[in-house]
Structure 1
Amino acid sequence: MREPTARRAGDAPLVRRTLIGAGVLLTLLFLVAPVAVVFVQALAAGFGPYLQNLAAPDTLHAIWLTVLTVLVVLPVNLLFGLAAAWAITRFSFRGKSFLVTLIELPFSISPIVAGVIYLFLYGAQGLLGPWLQQYDLRIMFSVPAIILVSLFVTSPFVARELIAFMQTQSSEDEEAARSLGASGWQMFMRVTLPNIRWALLYGAILCTARTIGEFGAVSVVSGNIRGQTNTLPLQIELLYNDYNAAGAFAAASVLALIGLLTILVKALVEEFGPRERNEQS
């Protein structure tokens, strides 16, 4: 005779429906509603004024600067993440745990603090400021400062995803390729990279989203120079402080749309990546 199974908390139909309803309600209230308000306010005056607000020179420059930052930061982080993950997961050496801690350090530092650190390093009164001035080099309150601080803030994303994934993968395929005479480059391109491509793509998505939306660190090192060093998040704040609500919501809608696309791509990667790995295994 089978013993009755113990009832779990939440098994009762009323409790289950209440919990699901509460979850849906809170999601609509705190996540969907704010995003919807952004698009409603951005298009309140019509599609024509919305496009005019987006076509404002300062806003276009902010969008261009944000895209430029991503185009520089993402490839560097991909190379760094690949190198770090390969070293940590494929080699044993003294100080490996310390290296992992250093890679994750930007997660534990406030972006504002990161910006201040770069200011103390490269600012006119910073540690390297006099040397930079001697050679007529300017980093702070310019595009290079935005790129540098964005690199620091986003550096762990690709590396962390690859390290976690590669630690669960065996190196048998790589050892087999090496025994067959494959060079290091051939082994990486034909064996390692195909195996980690989904984790690499996932890390790239997170890195891109964080770079686009970074505000705190960039606000410290950029100088908030109108039409020169304002990225899209900074431009939104500037428009809002100028009482240009329509322009602020129009710029914010671009960030919101990018966020929604990021979530969609992330969901697709999570759906098809594990499925393909299961089919191959």
Structure 2
Amino acid sequence: MNVTASQTPRASIAGHPRRIALVVIGTSLTALLILLPLVAVFYYALREGWTVYVGHLKNQETVHAIWLTLLAALVAVPVNTVFGIMAAWTIAKFDFPGRRLLTSLIELPLSISPIVIGIAYLFVFGMQGLLGEWLSDHELIFFGYEFRFVFSVPAIVIVTTIVTMPFVFREVLPLMQTQGTSEELAAISLGASGWKTFLKVTLPNIKWALIYGISLTFARSLGEFGSVAVVSGAVRGETNTMTLQIHMLFDDASQTGAFAVASILTSIALVTMLVKTWVERREARRLAEGTGLNSE
């Protein structure tokens, strides 16, 4: 999240035909490519009435798909939140060989197709993968549950976590780098423990970027399709997420059902956008107030 402390004045478009044309073109493209498809999702989801819409959402396979998608997100978000903060802290606060390489590796899922991530995962944990033969010979049982790494719920959770790994990290790292270590060192010199320093000094400084990163991670994990399609097996009622359920409903010519599930994902995306806007405004206001105090 990039928010500048100094707000430069915006130029007026009044009396400038080219500027007006740019605004009209940008607004028209936004309406055509973004707003219109969003409206279409809800229109086609509700075109047969509210009762039919709710009936599609109450379908047993759809309920399971929603539950499984939320499960993957509720695991991926806290894992990547902790990982993102720890990785950003390590890279921002300490100097060691390979810092840039480590940053590039963490951000790698952003530049690789999720399908490639899923295939790479299979080549490591699948039956023909590097660890596949060993895993097939050794049963991993946790709390009475046989842990399988492919075509299973754990596989969906793992690849979702991998795909969404960079988001919190990318949001909090620039702030930590900008703030440096002076405040933390001052707190430690005054007798604060490392944990208390983090809670009282570091965390308040990154909280809005952290909230933003968490919201992006949550939305991205809910909408993941490519890697999940590769490793899940797409078994109806067992390893189907919401995105896979939408795909299967379209294949079954159940367009209303597909749009009903899609409306859930769209609603979550809209809520995430509102959270993003709120966070950015709060951060911009905080920076503006800080600039005003410094000028005094």
- 1:270 equivalent in alignment to 2:280: yes
1:82 is aligned to 85
Q: TM-score, normalised by structure 2?
A: 0.89
Aligned pairs for 1:177-256 within 5 A? 177-256=187-266
Where 1:39 maps in the other structure, the secondary structure is helix
Match of 1:66 in 2: 69
Matched, 1:92 2:104: no
Residue 206 of structure 1 aligns to which amino acid in structure 2? L
Distance 2:108 2:181 in 1: 28
C-alpha separation in 2, matches of 1:250 and 1:33: 17
Deviations 1:127-163 (Å, cap 9, x if unpaired)? 1111111122421000110111111111111111111
Select the residue among 48, 53, 56 that pairs with 2:59: 56
Greater shift in the superposed pair: 106-115 or 16-25: 16-25
Unaligned runs of 5+ in 1: 1-7
Alignment partners' CA distance in 2, 1:213 and 1:181: 45
Decide whether the 8 Å contact of 2:92 with 2:180 is kept in 1: no
Question: RMSD value over aligned CA atoms?
Answer: 1.4
Match of 1:109 among 109, 112, 130: 112
Shift of 1:276: 2.4
Matched residue pairs, number? Answer: 273
Name the SS for the 1:93 alignment partner. Answer: coil
Q: Secondary structure at the match of 2:178?
A: coil
> Which residue does the alignment assign to 2:186?
176
- The share of aligned pairs that are identical, in percent, is 52
1:278 Cα deviation from its structure 2 partner: 3.8
2:145 maps to none
**Structure 2 contact 14–20 (Cα < 8 Å) conserved:** no
SS in 1 for 2:83: helix
What displacement does 1:114 show? 0.3
Deviations 1:163-212, CA, capped at 9 Å, x for gaps: 11211113222111011011101101111111111111111111111101
Shift of 1:105: 1.2
Which residue does the alignment assign to 2:21? Answer: 18
Matched AA of 1:196: I
Matched, 1:136 2:146: no
Task: Specify every segment of 5 or more residues in structure 2 that has no aligned partner in the other structure, as ranges.
Answer: 1-10, 141-147
Cα offset, 1:274, TM superposition? 2.7
1:29 aligns with 2:32: yes
